[in-house]
Amino acid sequence: QGLKPLVPTESPDPHLIFGTSKPSPGLPPTDPFLNINKVPDLQKVFQRSDGLPVHLKRGYPDRMLYRTTMALTIGGTFYCLVALYIASQPKNQ
């Protein structure tokens, strides 16, 4: 058996494509997401120096998600503390 050679002994399949600029066969060539590059616009939004943290830069939807997350976190913490308090009480028989 021994060690196998590092270099493959077979030639690679000429039909394999590892990267291409052509759209995949299932997508129509006029799909809008294939033509529009949104990265420069998003870079302008996120690099703007307005004093806001990155997770709040996109406005109202980000604020609502942040506030909902904080409310659930505080509510869950309060619920856990109350449950621990109730569980630590001695049981009357």
Spatial distance between the Cα atoms of 46 and 61, rounded to a whole number of angstroms: 15
pLDDT truncated to tens, each residue of the chain (93 aa)?
567 666 656 666 656 656 556 656 665 656 555 667 888 888 898 888 888 888 888 889 999 999 999 999 999 999 999 999 999 999 876
User: What type of residue sits at position 41?
Assistant: D
pLDDT on residue 11: 62
Superfamily of domain 51-92: Cytochrome c oxidase, subunit VIIa (4.10.91.10)
Alpha helices in 1-93 (DSSP H): 39-47, 60-88
User: What would the two tokens of residue 20 be?
Assistant: 């291409």
Q: Is the overall model pTM greater than 0.75, yes or no?
A: no
Domain boundaries, the chain: 51-92
* 34 contacts: CB under 8 Å, gap ≥ 6: 23, 27
